[in-house]
Structure formats: C-alpha cells, structure tokens
Chains A and B, each alone.
Chain A
Amino acid sequence: MLSDAAFLLTLTYGDPLPEMAAGQFAELLVEGSNKVMLRRPISIHKVDIQQNTVEFMIQIVGEGTRTLSQLKPGDKVNTLLPLGNGFSYKDKAFKAPLLVGGGVGIAPLLHLGQELNAMGIKPTFLFGGRSSKHILRPEEYELQGRLFVTTEDASMGEKGFVTDHTLLGKEQFDIIFACGPTPMLKSVARFAEAKGIECQVSLEHKMACGIGACLCCVEDTNDGNVCVCKEGPVFDIKRLKWLH
C-alpha cells in the first residue's frame, strides 16, 4: 500500500514488453469478485525494460480496484496493453516541460519522466494533494526531476492548489503535461491558455471495452463525441470544449 487508499501493483510479463508511450494505459481483468465484470483501465506508471515489468499506481475507488489490491505475489493478471494515445512528446521541440499531477493522477507522469530523461530532458513535477499522505512516491519522482508540491492543509510544500504555487510566477515552462481530477485539469488548462503554453491533459472516463468499440467513454470535443480510450486518454486542450 502507498497510502490508506492507494497501492502499487507490479506485473512481470513473460513476453518482451511492447513499446509503450507515456500516458497510455492498460485494461486489467478483475478476477475473484462476483460484482465486477468489466476490465479496469489503469494508466502505466513505470516501465522497467530490463526486468520486463510494468508498475501501476492504483487508487482504491470501488470493488474492482479493491479486488486488485488484494492480489498476492505470484497471482496472474490478464491485461491488455498498451492502449490509447499517450502524451505527445517525441519529435517535439521543448526544453522546459512542466508535469502537473493531482492525487493518483500523478501515476503516468513517472513514466513520462522516465521517457523525457531518456531524451535528455529533466522535467519539473508539480503535484497537488489533500495532505502529505496523498503525495505518493515523491522519492521516485525526485530521481527523474525537480518536484514541487502543494497540499490543501500545508502539511507538505505550499498551501493551496497546484495553480497557486509560486513556482508558476517565477519560472517559464514551454509545455505542460497534466493528469488528475477534472477541476484541477481545467484550472491548469486556463493557466496554460493565458500563458500561451501548449498543454496536454489525460482524462479518466469510465470505460468498458478500452479499444474504441463500445462508445461509452466519450468526451465532447470540437470533433463531437470521441472515445477517450481510443483517441485519448491524452488530449491537447485546444481540442476540448473546456475553455470556450
């Protein structure tokens, strides 16, 4: 367990792992619960090519994630991965990326940090949580870049929300990648737009198939309703109808 309501799941694969972009996700089959039928979409948190492992940082929100939290070492999990379109960072010119995360929404940003480091770019992380207990695995992120924190109760970092952090007034960033609760993402999107910075957000909609067949997880975009699982989960904020 990483906190009272979040845990880390590490899966070792028998076959060589496919190439995975940061921000892509997996659909995990939940076995052993008579209430849960559909797979659970979980973002890819960390990839270790040498060990052939994928780590998932999972918040317990209901029966499905609770059942997954009870897995024991050696248990097998049926997963589909990688799914969706992740963050767009390859073949892109930027020097100072800001990776903003809220709650367990920080999960895919560790993989993104790994990927950016491999490209020779040190990212800056800016995370928000209710309290210090909700800032998960800070030491892992600090290995990949600088970490700044806001908490609602001032128990870690600055008090307030991520968009209140003094860092944003002091330093310039040329691209923002964000994942977390929708109100936080909207606030980050407004900030990015005001500063004229490219901003990509990862959405967390309830999904069934995960491959663009059932049309359940749609977001209303400038192109109409599109599947978050297939066209997302990462969207450039310009494509969303949040700001205008």
Chain B
Amino acid sequence: MASLITNIGQLELQNPVMTASGTFGYGTEYQDFVDLKKLGAIIVKGTTLNPRQGNPYPRMAETPSGMLNAVGLQNKGAQYFIDNIYSTVRNIGCTAIVNVSGSCVEDYVKAAEMIDALEDIPAIELNISCPNVKQGGMAFGVKADSAAQVVEAVRKAYHKTLIVKLSPNVTDSTEIARAAEASGADSVSLINTMLGMAIDAERRKPILSTITGGLSGPAVKPVALRMVWQVAKAVKIPVIGMGGISNATDAIEFMLAGASAIEIGTANFIDPSISGKVVDGINDYLDRHGFSSVKDIIGALDI
C-alpha cells in the first residue's frame, strides 16, 4: 500500500480526497454512507459573518451531465457555527476545514478571525468565487487587485493554512492565482462553479429564481482540468483541484495536472458514498502503477 499523505501548506492530510463546500453539509449528513475517518478532509458549508437566508426557491436546475445551483450561501453565521456545529465537526473523525465567505473585506476578516480561534479547524478555504450572491463573493475573485486586497487582509488576521477558492469565470485564472499567492495564500483551490443559465421554453421563464446560477458536475470537468493545469504551472503553492470529479480516475487526472489534493462536489449527490470509493481507487492506482506515494503523481503528466 502506497502512502496517501499529501501536504497543503502547514497542513498534512492523510489522503488527498476532500469533500467540496456546500455539497457535504457538515459531514454528519453523510455518515450513514461513508466512513468519514477515511477522508482527507471535509470542507464544511460556506460560512459568513452574519446569517444568510440564501436565495428563494427554485435554486437548482439539472442540465446535461451537470446541475446549476443558486443557493446563495444560506448559513446561520459564524457565531452559530462556533456555538452549535463546531463541537460536532471537530469530532467528525477527519480534518475539517471551514469555507469562509463575505460581502465586504471586513466581514471576511472578522469571520476568519473567529474561525482562527477554533483549535481543531486547521485551515479555511476563502471563497472569493461564489457566483450566487449579489455583493462580494465572486466580485472579489474576478479581478487580481480585489482578490489581492481580500487575501492580504485575511492573511493578517488568520494564522493557519489559508486556501483561496478561485472562480473559473475569468479571462485568466493564473493572474488571480498569482495575486492570491503574492498576498499570502498557502494554497489555491479551483474551480468554483461556472456561471450558467437554464430556461423553461414552455413557460418562457428562467428556471432559477436568480435567473443565473453556478454550473457543476461532469459537464465542467474538462474546463476545470485545463484551469488546474494552467494554475499549477503558474504558482509555487499547492493547488487543490475540483470540478466534476466523479470517480478515482477523474481525481487522478487532476493530480497529474498538478493538484496536490482534490475535492469532490456534485458527485456526492449521486452516490453519497463516492468520496470513500475515490480514496480506495487512488490507492489501487498507485499500487497498480508501482508508486510508493501519492506525491509521485502530482504534476506527473507526461507531455
């Protein structure tokens, strides 16, 4: 059996398989289906300083090999997380990372400071790429200067591993990734969802209450893979890859493209036990190809 250990900044993960924010709740939702102890990490639902109701229903549209969502960061706020959810999440059996979002720099900083104080949360994923909120979110992540501004401010306030989640809805994701790196990010994760739209022709109406939403699932995988490959070449910090990963082979492809770890998102909805299966599948692949460590396949694409 090969070593599956991988590193993201200061953070050592027992394996590279994480579950993507917003697709895995707080982990407990999935404990009947997967042994959470088996996972590299879970990234819990996007948390903001203040509670958010999210967007009105309908928030989801299935599209060919994918889905659009417009949840809009519904959550009960950072204090609620600390008071009511942290005690469960810290004992979930694997590393727990909190996804932090905000609508202005101050909110990001305050929420990050609050999470910094939690002993058993070793990292945050800073969401500067949510397409479903009117203010903040993706607005920060589509320009290098605003991305740098929020990452710099959070870096000063947050002392553990800082992962910055990048948007695919940009002309050049490497520029944003370099800005995040220069501003003190320990890692970048990509891709968040791609801005999309669905229409009901019979009713001549948009399907989502917000008209547009974020596309995820196998449909986005080739785009995500390309962006991970480009960004991995452009930065020195570790890259976390995601976008349509549905099985171990998909996960391995992202690692070959340069990802040090991967996140599984939409696939959790189709097979709630998929994350554990991907861990097993990566291990089988390493054994089959004679690799002694998963680190050997990071960026090992033969060009």
Q: Is A197 an interface residue (CB 8 A)?
A: no
CB pair B218–A37 under 8 Å, yes or no, is: yes
Total interface residues in chain B, CB < 8 Å? 31
Residue pairs across A and B with CB atoms within 8 Å: the count is 83
Q: What 1/0 flags go to A201-235 for Cβ under 8 Å of B?
A: 00001111111111111111000110000100000
Rounded to whole angstroms, the CA-CA distance of A29 and B67 in the bound complex is: 15
The reply to whether B62 and A218 form a contact with Cβ atoms under 8 Å apart is no
**Which one of B160-168, B253-261, B267-275, B277-285 is at the A interface?**
B267-275
The reply on B58 being an interface residue by CB < 8 A is yes
Q: Are B66 and A37 in contact (CB under 8 A)?
A: yes
- Assess whether A219 is in contact with B57, with CB atoms less than 8 Å apart: yes
**Interface-centre pick from B45, B60, B65 (highest chain A CB count, 10 A):** B60
CB of A216 within 8 A of CB of B69, answer yes
Contacts of B80 in A (CB 8 A): none
Q: Beta-carbon contacts of A11-41 to B below 8 Å, as 1s and 0s?
A: 0000000000000000001000011111100
Please tell me the size bucket of the interface on A.
20 to 34
B217 contacts A by Cβ under 8 Å: yes
Interface residues in B38-71 by Cβ distance below 8 A to A read 45, 53-54, 56-62, 64-67, 69, 71
Q: A209 touching B269 by the CB < 8 A rule?
A: yes
**B9 in contact (CB, < 8 A):** no
Additional A-B contacts beyond A37-B270, A214-B69, A215-B45 (20; CB < 8 A): A29-B270, A34-B65, A35-B64, A37-B62, A37-B65, A37-B66, A37-B218, A206-B61, A208-B269, A209-B29, A209-B272, A211-B25, A211-B30, A213-B269, A215-B71, A216-B59, A217-B60, A218-B74, A219-B57, A220-B56
29 contacts between A and B (CB under 8 A): A34-B64, A37-B65, A37-B217, A37-B218, A37-B270, A38-B67, A38-B269, A39-B270, A206-B58, A206-B60, A206-B61, A207-B60, A209-B29, A209-B272, A211-B25, A211-B29, A211-B30, A212-B29, A213-B25, A215-B54, A216-B71, A217-B60, A218-B57, A218-B59, A219-B57, A220-B57, A225-B53, A225-B54, A230-B29
Please give me the 5 A-B residue pairs with the lowest Cβ-Cβ distance, nearest first: A216-B60, A213-B25, A209-B269, A213-B29, A208-B269
